[in-house]
Structure 1
């Protein structure tokens, strides 16, 4: 038989709790906060961890929508404890069969004292109509301080029954109860079965628990206080030091009015359901917080993002490609703007460099660097993503840190493929030669033509043409001017080549930044944001 799962208290788990605020948040707001925590966590955490929270948010929300005027009180106890007799005594009616005359123990019996709305509430709890009794129209002889208007009293199946269905019914209805009344008898009030299975695990709910020592008339009058004191001692040892304990004789009526007054007090306060739900919220939120953590985390910083981008850029060979662009651009700039005659003596492109007539694409530049067409190195890219995930998970408990890393791992192959594709298709703008280079090239050709013209003029003067010193000036200026112009403009030409490489690097870095943002940063920031929403929700729900 499955043991009931009851949330542990902070004291049991050793969890460090925060100070309780002066005004506890409204139960409805705490329910919303717990639902927020569940919604934020369900895509990342084990469903079993969140199941208790999902159950209580669903049940609690429904409970608040139903009759808020009723307080559900459940009577639980062992066979022979007089639980059914106490049920009849509280109702002032012979409703529940006692002993062998009870018609059934498979289903709980319910008695509701107005106002309207209890039927809907009992149907929601799954109690058949034939097991419901209303006292709304019956004559109530109770005094004002013992009137139970607004009470829904449940007589649960015996906890020590040999029928499994009885245990299941009892455990099913316990979570619906606003106040739990455990009925013990003098012979078995220290029975380990009920203490170990129900009372001790419910220590977190002491404020909504009442323990009744029934059949107190069987104890000599002078020993009753000792028996009650002994029961309180046992309860204190089990973590319920402040629970209300009442001695009752359902058969004689002793203590019944005291119990009624205690129930009436809770009903009039109209806090039983909210106290029960609030206590359950605290216990469940604390248990989940202990498992998944509520520590404040730094999250993802700009330095972390830059580290990821640098790592992916390195994996994609961006620095090598940029170096290749700079090298090719410098050689092309010099070759384009130098003296045309000097170009005849310039060596052809060196081995391993991109040829002058080849388009300067990322693919060709990678090939020139020996990187190959599929240039992104998977191992390096995946390591960059893993390192980033580790930084994003700093401060998180293991379940959330695992969720961050799992999200990153799922994106690794996608990052490599997308980065490779987009870098290969990036327009670096290197197929467009700067206009300034063309202007310098045109001036070089003009100077060369002027020099050739001056030399021709000098030759013609050697064959009898009249001497003219302008020919010498033209020949010298034309032949030497190109060299001088190349030397003077070389720094500007090289600066232009560097700018081309810098612009190309910006393009490549933008591609890397976009891929990193879309495929890694945004998904992981989503997990971190969910963690923070879950953390906020748990802290509010815990109260």
Structure 2
């Protein structure tokens, strides 16, 4: 079925789809009443447009004694509704049909069992006129029936009388709330035959003023007398025009969408990208012990350089000192023995206990990378990166992290409506429990790269051993000469370098060369340690910042994006 299009805006289909999208996006953010109301309107609209659009359902609604039933009978041309002085006289809605063929499913949906063919002229062909109970009836079921049908009918005809046209119950409960439905609304001032002509004009002007204050400017107001027939022709002509247009149903649905979208909120421009506070990364780095790790990287580099390139005679002494990085359990893990230098499963100081069998478990419940891969996916042969033993964050450091997370949420939510601002603040904290483990893993992974041995260490080590071999050869040579002299054996020819014998050159030169190479290597290791510490610091800030982005900023951005899509859908629905 092809739907009518409004020339000035999007189609009814697209607005309904936008309303449903907005309701889905608002789920859990806005009050359930508003969200369920939007879904109900969308469902109701979907049903109504599948039913007969050749019929227009108009309802006569009003207060007790306003003469609805009399007007209903006068329009229908027959006494279909009971009229009397005992109130209320109308207990259930009933329908008068002008050419009612095909209206059965529509009336079934409206739940109107009493249906009568109209006896008046057929110029209102396609009209289904309902006589509703009194909206101020003492019977609660009557008021509920009015409220139900007021939400469903295509055209509302409010019948008022000179005594109660200013009734607050009518204006506050219905007219003011239905201001967006003024395109499908008529107001009839009935029983004007009881007033002098001058009083009728005053009543009409006052009624017009009240309607304008209700936001119903432009709604037709007709003076009618159901008893004398005054004004009935004008009312019938106006109803005929609305029925002939066959648009009241779509206009009603469009007004329902507009009203419901307004209850979801007022479309606001999505806040510009917030400058997420950089103090979050700084606070996470401090809490993760990054300064301590960076210092350990520099010291560890120098320590390992001395072990690898020092003078072979004295380098073993350095091995007696603890490796600063190994003390923090930073570096490769063997698949069977846990982190290098410690047994698997050892309780990490200030951290959670490591998982057995070479696995570490994060807060998400997933085990770390299997043997042969680091936590970041970088291979280390047959080793994996384990948990560190960096001291746990202090209370002050934890407080700084919490403050930084709160500041991120507050900055992002600054320009949002209350419910959405609360959702953004909650999103910033939603994964904060995962931060400690995630940051520890990236510290371990990123810092492990700082344990890689530079290639020049191997070359210097080979040179040191060659120099040591030359020194040892000189020592053995001199020892042999000393033994021959002790035994009074004839001395062999002794080559010299100038006046210095070669054995002495090899021994003394080997010692001096080894010490000199060790000193130069230590100087290079000191400079290399500083460079490696700077690179590690940058890498750690980047990695920790990525964790903060993934666990804090990404949920905030997702919530802001959700709000942006909600605002866009709401704008389309209200168009």
TM-score range, shorter chain: 0.7 to 0.9
Change (3 A) 1:196 1:403: closer
Change (3 A) 1:112 1:329: farther
- 1:349 touches 1:356 (CA, 8 Å); kept in 2? no
Aligned to 1:383: 403
Q: TM-score, normalised by structure 2?
A: 0.77
**Deviation per CA, 1:262-309, whole angstroms, max 9, x where unpaired?**
12222222322222232333333234324xx623212466x55x6544
Question: Residues 301-450 of structure 1 correspond to what in structure 2 (within 5 A)?
Answer: 304=277, 308-343=280-315, 349=321, 353=324, 360=331, 375-376=392-393, 378-420=398-440, 428-429=448-449, 433-450=453-470
Q: Unmatched 5+ residue regions in structure 1?
A: 1-20
SS in 1 for 2:228: coil
Aligned to 2:209: 233
Aligned to 1:151: 127
- 2:88 touches 2:134 (CA, 8 Å); kept in 1? no
Aligned to 2:45: 60
- 1:376 touches 1:420 (CA, 8 Å); kept in 2? no
Aligned to 2:57: 72
- 1:159 touches 1:167 (CA, 8 Å); kept in 2? yes
**Deviation per CA, 1:33-78, whole angstroms, max 9, x where unpaired?**
1211110011323313434323322322322233333322221112
Question: Residues 211-222 of structure 1 correspond to what in structure 2 (within 5 A)?
Answer: 211-221=187-197
Question: Residues 113-132 of structure 1 correspond to what in structure 2 (within 5 A)?
Answer: 113-114=98-99, 116-127=101-112, 129=113, 131-132=114-115
Supply the distance in 2 between the matched residues of 1:376 and 1:167 (Cα, whole angstroms): 64
Counterpart pick for 1:42 among 23, 27, 35: 27
- 1:374 touches 1:420 (CA, 8 Å); kept in 2? no
Counterpart pick for 2:152 among 176, 182, 190: 176
SS in 2 for 1:537: helix
Please say if 1:205 is aligned against 2:181.
yes
Aligned to 1:98: 83
Change (3 A) 1:103 1:387: closer
Supply the distance in 1 between the matched residues of 2:115 and 2:350 (Cα, whole angstroms): 87
In the TM superposition, residue 318 of structure 1 has moved relative to its aligned partner by 2.6
Aligned to 2:368: none
Counterpart pick for 1:133 among 101, 109, 116: 116
Counterpart pick for 2:554 among 514, 522, 527: 522
In the TM superposition, residue 230 of structure 1 has moved relative to its aligned partner by 3.6
Aligned to 2:495: 468
Supply the distance in 2 between the matched residues of 1:322 and 1:368 (Cα, whole angstroms): 18
- 1:328 touches 1:353 (CA, 8 Å); kept in 2? yes
Supply the distance in 1 between the matched residues of 2:177 and 2:33 (Cα, whole angstroms): 20
Structure (1 or 2) with the greater helix fraction: 1
Change (3 A) 1:48 1:218: same
In the TM superposition, residue 390 of structure 1 has moved relative to its aligned partner by 2.4
Aligned to 2:272: 298
Change (3 A) 1:497 1:79: same
Aligned to 1:12: none
Supply the distance in 2 between the matched residues of 1:376 and 1:289 (Cα, whole angstroms): 43
Supply the distance in 2 between the matched residues of 1:542 and 1:121 (Cα, whole angstroms): 27
Supply the distance in 1 between the matched residues of 2:195 and 2:417 (Cα, whole angstroms): 54
Please say if 1:29 is aligned against 2:14.
yes
In the TM superposition, residue 121 of structure 1 has moved relative to its aligned partner by 1.9
Change (3 A) 1:37 1:356: closer
Aligned to 2:363: none
Number of residue equivalences: 508
SS in 1 for 2:460: helix
In the TM superposition, residue 429 of structure 1 has moved relative to its aligned partner by 4.8
In the TM superposition, residue 215 of structure 1 has moved relative to its aligned partner by 2.2
Supply the distance in 2 between the matched residues of 1:32 and 1:358 (Cα, whole angstroms): 56
Aligned to 2:246: 270
Q: TM-score, normalised by structure 1?
A: 0.81
Change (3 A) 1:394 1:189: closer
SS in 2 for 1:341: coil
In the TM superposition, residue 213 of structure 1 has moved relative to its aligned partner by 1.2
Please say if 1:283 is aligned against 2:235.
no
In the TM superposition, residue 494 of structure 1 has moved relative to its aligned partner by 4.5
Supply the distance in 2 between the matched residues of 1:260 and 1:368 (Cα, whole angstroms): 85
Change (3 A) 1:319 1:149: farther
SS in 2 for 1:211: strand
Supply the distance in 1 between the matched residues of 2:475 and 2:440 (Cα, whole angstroms): 56
Supply the distance in 2 between the matched residues of 1:311 and 1:343 (Cα, whole angstroms): 40
Supply the distance in 2 between the matched residues of 1:124 and 1:513 (Cα, whole angstroms): 58
Change (3 A) 1:414 1:106: farther
Aligned to 1:110: 95
Q: Unmatched 5+ residue regions in structure 2?
A: 1-5, 334-338, 343-347, 352-387, 486-490
Supply the distance in 2 between the matched residues of 1:536 and 1:50 (Cα, whole angstroms): 16
Change (3 A) 1:515 1:69: farther
SS in 1 for 2:187: strand
Higher relative contact order (CA 8 A, sep 6+): 1
